[in-house]
A and B are shown apart, each in its own frame.
Chain A
Amino acid sequence: MADIIMSGLGGQGVLTAGKILINIAAAEGKNVSWTSTYGAAMRGGSASCNIVVSDEEIGSPYPSQYDILFAMSDEAYETYVGNMRDGGTVIINSSMVGEHDFPKNVNVYAVPATNEANEAGNSRAANLVMLGALIEATKLMDTQKFGAGLNAYFEKKGHNTPSNLVCYQKGVATVEKK
Chain B
Amino acid sequence: MSADYVLMKGNEAIAEAALRAGCRFYAGYPITPQSEILEYMSSNMQKYGGTFIQGENEIASMSMIWGAAAAGARCMSSSSGPGFDLKQEEISYLSSYNLPCVLVDAMRYGLGDGEITAGQDSYWEAVRGGGHGDSRQLVYAPASVDECVQLTYQAFDKAEEYRNVVIILTDGAISQMIEKCTLPPAKEHDINKFDWTLTGKPLGVKKNKVYNLDHTIGFEAWEKLMRNKFKTMYENEQRWEEFQTDDAEIVLVAIGISSRVCKSAVRQARKEGFKLGLLRPITVWPFPRKAFEKMPKSVEAYVTVEMGMSSQMGEDVLLAMKHQKPFYSYLTTKYIPKAEDIVNFCKDIKAGKVQQTEVF
A residues within 8 Å of B by Cβ? Answer: 19, 22-23, 26, 31-36, 38-39, 57-62, 64
Contact = CB atoms under 8 A, between A and B. Distances in A.
Contacts of A31: 1, 179-180
A10 B357 CA distance: 42
B267 interface: yes
A61 B337 CA distance: 11
A24 to B, nearest CB: 11
Given A59-B267, A60-B339, A26 B260 contact: no
B117 A58 contact: no
Nearest to B176: A38
A154 to B, nearest CB: 15
Contacts of A33: 177-179
Contact of A61 (B5, B173, B340): B173
Contacts of B265: 59
B88 interface: no
B179 A58 contact: yes
A102 B172 CA distance: 35
Nearest to B172: A38
B7 A23 contact: yes
Interface string B20-43: 000000000000110000000000
How many interface residues does chain B have, given as a range? 20 to 34
Nearest to B5: A26
27 contacts: A26-B7, A26-B180, A31-B1, A31-B180, A32-B7, A32-B178, A32-B179, A33-B177, A33-B178, A34-B177, A34-B179, A35-B177, A35-B178, A38-B172, A57-B263, A59-B262, A59-B267, A59-B339, A60-B260, A60-B339, A61-B173, A61-B179, A61-B260, A62-B257, A62-B261, A62-B338, A64-B339
Given A26-B180, A31-B1, A60 B7 contact: no
Contacts of B176: 35-36, 38
B191 interface: no
B264 A59 contact: yes
B86 interface: no
A139 B336 CA distance: 30
A37 B155 CA distance: 29
Contacts of A64: 338-340
A32 B144 CA distance: 12
Interface string B171-212: 011001111100000000000000000000000000000000
Contact of A60 (B5, B172, B263): B263
B318 interface: no
B116 interface: yes
A127 B233 CA distance: 51
B269 to A, nearest CB: 12
Contacts of B7: 22-23, 26, 32, 34
Nearest to A57: B263
Contacts of B1: 31
Nearest to A34: B178
A160 B272 CA distance: 48
Given A59-B263, A61-B257, A62-B173, 15 more contacts: A22-B178, A26-B5, A26-B7, A26-B180, A32-B179, A32-B180, A33-B177, A33-B179, A35-B178, A57-B263, A58-B260, A59-B264, A59-B265, A60-B260, A62-B336
